[in-house]
């Protein structure tokens, strides 16, 4: 992707794309690291302190019914569809990729759901927030990574530093929605609860005050409490008996880009 001088320039391009989508009545939202930065405007200093520099990657999500319209949208904005054999199969059913004018693979557009280690379904959820996906989904996107890395951990720390935990989606992380998702999928639940531990265990590694650490731990614990209190589905209970003796997550197949 063409280099942006500042994150503000990068954000401007994201907002330009989403504004054009709105003009065409296409529901389009940004997710990933860019969305976290946009949704955490008060944590610029913390980003610097944690040495977290978001990459200029654009990961969007829209509904599958908008597939033809999103293709035309990005073409009209100067992006070109990326053609790959992988995108003609199962991967392509829920994903579009576009290049920028320089020929770099710049934009991923996910359709209906994000299928990584675990599946995040965006049905009826994209209207909840704008220009990003809801905070609960931003949290789920990071907590679903099985082989989580420091980037994922620091993103969660920043997100939990900026936003309180509650029962709704208005500038708070919806613990009830997270609990509902994890209460229906034991594999996702297992990965998430393992990552809850990793976040709290890693806090001493970072340049955080006692108050900052305590805030993150408190918010993680409140999400955990909501998850444990959530009634579990029959499928969840049956799968929990199998445990980790059977692979509980999806192996992520990266799209090879020339």
Identify whether 255 is part of a domain. Answer: no
Identify whether 1 is part of a domain. Answer: no
Identify whether 103 is part of a domain. Answer: yes
91 pLDDT band, cuts 50/70/90, is low
Structural domain span for residue 160: 7-245
β-partners of residue 115 are 119
Which strand (E) or helix (H) includes residue 166? strand 164-166
Total number of domains in the chain: 1
Cα 169 from chain centroid?
15
Sign of CA dihedral 79, 84, 89, 91: negative
CATH code assigned at 85: 3.30.460.40
Cα dihedral 7→11→150→186 (10° resolution): 180
Q: How many residues does the structure list for the chain?
A: 258
Mean pLDDT of 194-199: 96
Q: Does the pTM of the predicted model rise above 0.95?
A: no
Identify whether 250 is part of a domain. Answer: no
Rounded CA separation 105/100 (Å): 7
Residue 224 pLDDT exceeds 80: yes
Tokens standing for residue 70: 């999103």
Identify whether 253 is part of a domain. Answer: no
Identify whether 256 is part of a domain. Answer: no
């Amino acid at each position: 992707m063409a280099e942006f001088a500042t994150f503000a320039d990068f954000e401007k391009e994201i907002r330009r794309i989403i504004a054009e989508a709105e003009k065409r009545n296409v529901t389009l939202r940004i997710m990933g690291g860019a969305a976290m930065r946009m949704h955490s405007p008060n944590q610029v200093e913390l980003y610097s302190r944690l040495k977290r520099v978001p990459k200029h990657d654009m990961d969007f999500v829209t509904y599958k019914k908008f597939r033809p319209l999103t293709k035309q949208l990005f073409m009209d904005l100067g992006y070109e569809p990326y053609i790959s054999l992988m995108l003609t199969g199962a991967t392509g059913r829920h994903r579009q990729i576009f290049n920028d004018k320089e020929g770099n693979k710049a934009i991923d557009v996910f359709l209906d759901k994000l299928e990584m280690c675990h599946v995040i379904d965006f049905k009826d959820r994209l209207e909840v927030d704008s220009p990003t996906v809801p905070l609960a989904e931003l949290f789920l996107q990071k907590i679903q990574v099985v082989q989580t890395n420091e980037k994922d951990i620091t993103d969660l720390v920043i997100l939990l530093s900026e936003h309180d935990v509650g029962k709704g989606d208005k500038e708070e992380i919806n613990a009830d929605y997270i609990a509902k998702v994890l209460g229906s999928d034991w594999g996702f639940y297992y990965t998430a609860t393992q990552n809850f531990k990793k976040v709290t265990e890693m806090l001493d590694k970072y340049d955080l005050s006692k108050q900052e650490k305590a805030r993150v731990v408190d918010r993680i614990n409140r999400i955990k409490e909501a998850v444990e209190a959530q009634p579990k589905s029959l499928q969840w209970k049956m799968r929990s008996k199998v445990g980790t003796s059977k692979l509980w997550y999806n192996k992520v197949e990266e799209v090879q880009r020339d």
